[in-house]
Structures are given as C-alpha cells and as structure tokens.
Amino acid sequence: MPPTRPPSDAPSAPSRAEAFRFWLKLGFISFGGPAGQIAILHEELVVRRRWISEQRFLHALNYCMVLPGPEAQQLATYLGWLMHRAWGGLVAGGLFVLPSLLILVVLSWVYLAFGQVPAVAGFFHGIKPAVTALVVHAAWRIGSRTLGNAWLRAIAVGAFVALFAFGLPFPLIVLAAALVGALGGRIAPARFQPAGRHGSAAPRGAPALIDDDTPTPPHARFSARRFAAVLATGLGLWAAALGALAAGTGVHGVFTQMGWFFTKAALLTFGGAYAVLPYVAQGAVEHFQWLSAAQMIDGLALGETTPGPLIMVVAFVGFVGGWNAAPFGGDALALAGATAAAVVTFFTFLPSFLFIFLGAPFIESTHGRLGFTAPLTAITAAVVGVIAHLAVFFAGHVLWPQGPAGPFDGAAALIGLAAAVALFRFRVGVVAVIAAAGLAGVVLQAVG
C-alpha cells in the first residue's frame, strides 16, 4: 500500500485481507465484457471505496488499453500492484481470472459429457446463431468507434479480404497494418488519431487514498535492477513451464503445443478478445484440430455468459483439446481437459502480468495522458475486418452445418436474425440474448 500519508478525510488504506476479499468478489461479478468490467472497477474503486482518484485510474487504464491482452484484467493487476506491490498485482489479476477458469472447466465437462442429451444439444444448437449475431454486433460496435475516415475503413476492408480471399495468417495482417499505420502516421497524421477512450475525467470530489497529487510509492518507481529482475523472472517462468511440458509430454505433445501457441496468441490480442479469436480459430480448429468450428462457437457462448475476461474462452478450447487428445488415456479425459485448460490459461495471462510489472513503473513516472500510436490505430482498424471475417466463418458453419453443399438451416437463420434485432435495435444484454436463443433451441429440439 502507499507509504505516504493520505489526506485526513481520505479512506484508510485497505489491509491485504480486505483487498483479497474485494478482488475475490470481483472475480465472480465481472460480467459485461471489458466495458462492463472497467465500469465495475471504476464504481467500486473510484466512487465507492475511493482507493484511487479518477485521474490516476484513467492514467492506468490508458496504459492498459495500448497493451495486447485483456485490458480489464490488466487494469485490476495494475491497481492491485499500486496498492500492495507484487502481491497485490498477482492477487488482483489472478482472482480476476481464477473463478472464470473454474466455472469454464465445469461447464466444459458438462458440455462434453452430456452434450448429446437432447435438451443440452438443443440449447447449444440455439445459441450458435446468437453467437454469430454477437460477433457481427462486436464488429459494428468497434467499427463505429474506430473507422472514422476512409484510410481506416480501407485497412479494415483489406484485412477482411486478406483473410477471406487469401487466408493470410493473423500475425502477418497485424504486422502489415502496423506498417501501414507507421507510414500513414507520417503522411497523414490527422487520419491516424486515436479513437476515444473509456470514460472521461469527472469533477473532483472527496480525496482518494491514492489521489491525483499522491507521490508515487517507492515500489512503483522505476529501477533498472528491478526491471531486469522482473524480466528475468517472467521469462524464466515461461521457459521453465514450457520446458517442463516438453520434457514431460514431448515437444510435439498437446500441452507443449498449446503452451507455445497461446503464448503467441497472448501477444496478438490488440483490440480485445474478438480480435484474437480468428487467430485462435485458425490455429485450434484448422491447424491443430483440437476442436471443431461448431465447438468453437459453443465455447464463445460459454465465455460470454461467465464472469471474467472473454479471452477465457481459450480455457474451453484447451479443455476440449485436452479431452480429445486424451494424453492420460481414455479413463482420464476430464483430468486431461482440466490440465489443458490450466496450461492454456497460464500461457495466455503470463504476458499480461509481465507487461504490468515491467511497464507500470514507467507509467507512474508521468501522469500525462497517454495516446495511441498510429500503428496501433491502424491495427485497431484491421481488427474490425478480422472480426467481420470471424462472423462470416461462424455464419457458414451455423447456416450450413453439413457444409456448403448441405441444406440451409432456416431455424438457425431465424434465431440469428432475432438475436441481431435484440442486440442492434433493443440493446438487450448478451446473457439474456444467449439464454433466449438457447431456450428457442430446446423448444425446436422438442417439437422437431
């Protein structure tokens, strides 16, 4: 916690036990995607508890928004670290993820063990078209915020064509967009201005524990020695974990492949979970064949309806991949799935902790407003095209479940259309849309 004395009418510093209880509760109530999760963090930490001021909160958020990875989880890690050093960051970031992991492991087991039960099968048949509508809505939502001029719209279209027509890998598209942004930022800098950020500064109210003018605590100041130690620790943990998997299951074992693949995925999640899902689908479904496209859609639905960051859908991908690969034999499928889910989660979130522990001391050294660079603005534009391609990919598998030459699923089309109307026209919440679509699927299964 900050060693400096807070203003006399500021709240007292929370103990580690109090902070632990708060972060644990947050892990179970963090629904609503990144926007909803950031809103919860703001309401709890800035408004209700006054552990941190508005400006300091936004300053941390702006840094997290330019990082690859789940910004809400990284923001929780940052704020926990600012208050209680490395212990606070690990607890805040870890508890943001752990409840979601446990819930998804249970749901994934139910999905695989009982997915052929008619009612369960009908539910998942109904949610597939709703998930497709959710992806379309995500592309529209992000595009409406970011594609403010013809340059950025052209980048989005180019990214879509690169995936749809040429099947280029996602990392290559990100690199190309960054290069276009770097060049465009020099030629037409006004066209590559950053999009608006979450929230804005609120009028000053009662002082916070970590207020606008609270000095940076000693542990949050930059130190070259500490930076080197954190970097060595992070890389050491990564190498030790991947090496242990390779030694135990082989370089080509499913756990080792997952560790390496999801390390790369973690470094490419600019723009949120929807941006990296095409890369995950490309690798997990088409290359490694850990799961089918239909299962990937079901996993996204489960991820949307559980607390925690949406990128936790990777835990479902890992569980299904481990279950199907059966590295422990046919009698331990659940153990293989749970182990794979834990492996995937570790390698997905390790970089996020490293980014915070390495970069936050730099950010605390200046409280000026951070900006997006032109390359990141271009990457965000490309993400819109990538998400649109994901919607087309999902729609093809939902509307023609037996392949392009198979019959058209009219019921799925109607459910998807109804879900789209609910999202676009009436702004119904994600959980309600998925629940209604699943219920429609159960009804259709019963009467069909």
DSSP letters spanning 394-437: HHHHHHSTT-TTS---HHHHHHHHHHHHHHHTS---HHHHHHHH
Identify whether 11 is part of a domain: no
CB 269 within 8 A of CB 275: yes
Identify whether 6 is part of a domain: no
pLDDT attached to residue 202: 42
Q: Which domain holds residue 185?
A: 16-196+223-447
CB 10 within 8 A of CB 211: yes
pLDDT attached to residue 329: 94
Identify whether 215 is part of a domain: no
In angstroms, rounded to a whole number, what is the distance separating the alpha carbons of residues 57 and 12?
A: 18
Identify whether 63 is part of a domain: yes
In angstroms, rounded to a whole number, what is the distance separating the alpha carbons of residues 385 and 372?
A: 19
pLDDT attached to residue 264: 92
Segment 341-399, tens digit of pLDDT: 999 999 999 999 999 999 999 888 765 443 445 777 888 788 788 888 888 988 999 99
pLDDT attached to residue 8: 56
Q: What is the DSSP string of 249-263?
A: H-TTSHHHHHHHHHH
Among the listed residues 185, 183, 177, 187, the one whose alpha carbon sits nearest the alpha carbon of residue 157: 177
Per-residue tokens: 177: 């967009």
Per-residue tokens: 191: 């066209």
Tell me the C-alpha to C-alpha distance, in Å, between residue 105 and each of 129, 227, 323. Answer: 23, 35, 11
In angstroms, rounded to a whole number, what is the distance separating the alpha carbons of residues 418 and 62?
A: 36
Strand partners, 210: 52
Residue 150 burial (C-beta neighbours within 10 Å; 0-12, 13-18, 19+): exposed
CB 315 within 8 A of CB 344: yes
Q: Is 210 helix (H, G, I), strand (E, B) or coil?
A: strand
Q: Report CA torsion sign: 150, 152, 157, 162.
A: positive
Q: What's the rounded mean pLDDT across residues 27-50?
A: 82
Identify whether 341 is part of a domain: yes
Q: Is 52 helix (H, G, I), strand (E, B) or coil?
A: strand
**Residue 210 φ/ψ, nearest 5 degrees:** -105, 95
In angstroms, rounded to a whole number, what is the distance separating the alpha carbons of residues 345 and 338?
A: 11
pLDDT(443) > 90: yes
pLDDT(197) > 50: no
In angstroms, rounded to a whole number, what is the distance separating the alpha carbons of residues 266 and 341?
A: 15
Domains contained in the chain, number:
1
pLDDT(198) > 90: no
Q: Is 336 helix (H, G, I), strand (E, B) or coil?
A: helix
Residue type, 239: A
Per-residue tokens: 235: 């890389």
Q: Is 120 helix (H, G, I), strand (E, B) or coil?
A: helix
Identify whether 30 is part of a domain: yes
Identify whether 8 is part of a domain: no
Q: What's the rounded mean pLDDT across residues 237-244?
A: 98
- Name the residue with tokens 């990284």: 74
Identify whether 3 is part of a domain: no
